[in-house]
Amino acid sequence: MKKGAILGFALTLAISSALAFAEGASAKICDNDPTSSSGCTQNYGGTWTYEDSSKSYNSDHRISKSGVTGNDYFEWRFPSLPSGKTTLEVYLGDSKFTNREADYEILCAGWEYDEYVGSINQYSAPSGWNTVGNIRLDSGKVIVTVWGKDKSGASSTRTGADAASL
């Protein structure tokens, strides 16, 4: 084997292990209606209808009623996660999700209040994983909340709750 080929091979190895690390770096996914073996649970207030959808993560999601004006919310309850900076991503695939400004918050064990992470226009979001924002977690259980209300003021929109990743 020539020197250049060996270097190329070593570089390929280095790059693929770096990518594998980036993807696997403590990312934990909780879906709506999770199995007990996933370690995740869910909770919600208000009406969040369960639906099958081929476009959604694990082929299902929950969706709010139209034009929520109250404090309807959906929670993904994560098992204990390590402390440190992480990125909240949510899966949005179904075109029935139309909330133009859906707010997402996080509560870590021991925190007194939820912390705002970011908002997403679920109507214009590309299909797949969307980044909500970055946040620094304390170790322990984590609750991610999406609010059903459309903060943009748009009327008769609906909020989707599919999978969330930290």
CA–CA gap between residue 43 and residue 33 (Å, rounded): 9
Between strands 140-147 and 60-64, the pairing is unpaired
Q: Is residue 123 a contact partner of residue 97, using CB atoms and an 8 Å limit?
A: yes
Of 32 and 145, which CB lies nearer to Ca ion in the complex structure? 32
Which residues of the shown chain bind Ca ion in the complex (CB under 5 A)? 31-32, 56-58, 60-61, 162
- Distance in Å, CB of 78 to Ca ion, minimum: 15
Amino acid at 6: I
Is 142 within 8 Å of 54 (Cβ atoms)?
Answer: no
**Minimum CB–partner distance for residue 114 and Ca ion (Å):** 23
Instruction: Tell the smallest beta-carbon distance from residue 127 to Ca ion (Å).
Output: 13
| Nearest to Ca ion of 68, 90 (CB atom) | 90
CB nearer to Ca ion: give 99 or 108.
Answer: 99
Q: Where are the alpha helices (DSSP H) in 105-148?
A: none
Q: Which is nearer to Ca ion, 56 or 98 (CB)?
A: 56
Minimum separation from the CB atom of position 152 to Ca ion (A): 24
**Could you tell me the smallest distance in angstroms from the CB atom of residue 100 to Ca ion?**
22
- Distance (Å, rounded) from C-alpha 23 to C-alpha 66? 36
The nearer residue to Ca ion, 33 or 138, going by C-beta atoms, is 33
CB 98 within 8 A of CB 65: no
Phi-psi region of 115 (alpha: psi -120 to 50; beta: other; left: phi over 0): beta
- What is the Cα gyration radius of the chain? 18
